Amino acid sequence: MPFDNGLSFAGQADDPFFLDLRVFDLLYGGDLSEIADDSLDGYNINAVAIQVPKTALAAGGDAEGSPIIGVYSTTSRPSTEVRNPDGTKTVSGDPVQISRLGNPLVNELIPPLGPARDLFNSSKPADDAQFLSLVQDPQLPKVIEQVYGIPAPPALVTTWSRCSSPVCPSSTCPRGAPQARCSG
């Protein structure tokens, strides 16, 4: 990917996200009146940051016509781990993907615990259509409804029609998303 004027950084940095981790306490009957608190304030992360001109990333170099790029990371481990009687462990086998991230907290909040989350974490974004129902009708609002009696919003119902090509023509996608990918 040839470009000029790029910058890079590798090292420790202040965590850039604001996250009130007490949102998870809501599931256990926490106090809804508490003021938001950045649970990550004062914590550092190990970061690798690369700054490149957007024209170097956009399809055909056209950042105005193709403004969206997708980035995600994965974590893999050896496929087999044996814990030996002496407390040591032996690992072997090909790497297997066990986690992926692209948007913060998606893999923690959208797929429920268990096989659906494992499947999500081992898949690629190109295969995300299989998780559409979990996005349209997530589990977390239902849990909050049960704990607090606050009505959960109804499941999202789409009116998208099935596409004949991978990228939907504007006539079949929701208004404002002419280049959205349809799943059926």
Domain definitions of the chain by residue range: 1-69, 157-184
pTM: 0.62
Per-residue model confidence as pLDDT tens digits over 114-135? 888 899 999 999 899 998 888 8
What is the mean pLDDT of the segment spanning 87-93?
Answer: 95
Is-contact 18 40, C-beta < 8 A?
A: yes
**54-57, Cβ contacts within 8 angstroms, sequence gap of 24 or more:** 55/3, 56/1, 56/2, 56/3, 56/6, 57/1
Q: Is the dihedral of CA 63, 169, 130, 127 positive or negative?
A: negative
Q: Is the pLDDT of residue 182 over 60?
A: no
Q: Distance between CA atoms of 156 and 135, rounded to whole angstroms?
A: 8
First to last CA, the chain: 34
**Nearest CA-CA partner of 128 in 78, 63, 72:** 72
Measured distance CA(12)–CA(61) in Å, rounded = 32
Given a cut of 70, is residue 3 above it in pLDDT? no
Arithmetic mean of pLDDT, 165-171: 38
pLDDT for 84 beyond 90:
yes
Mean pLDDT of 70-81: 91
Residue range 53-76: mean pLDDT, rounded: 87
Residue 109's Cβ-count burial label (10 Å; 0-12, 13-18, 19+) is middle
Residue with tokens 């615990």: 113
What string of DSSP letters covers 127-174?
Answer: GGGGGHHHHHS-SHHHHHHHHH-PPPPPPP---PPPPSSSS--TTTS-
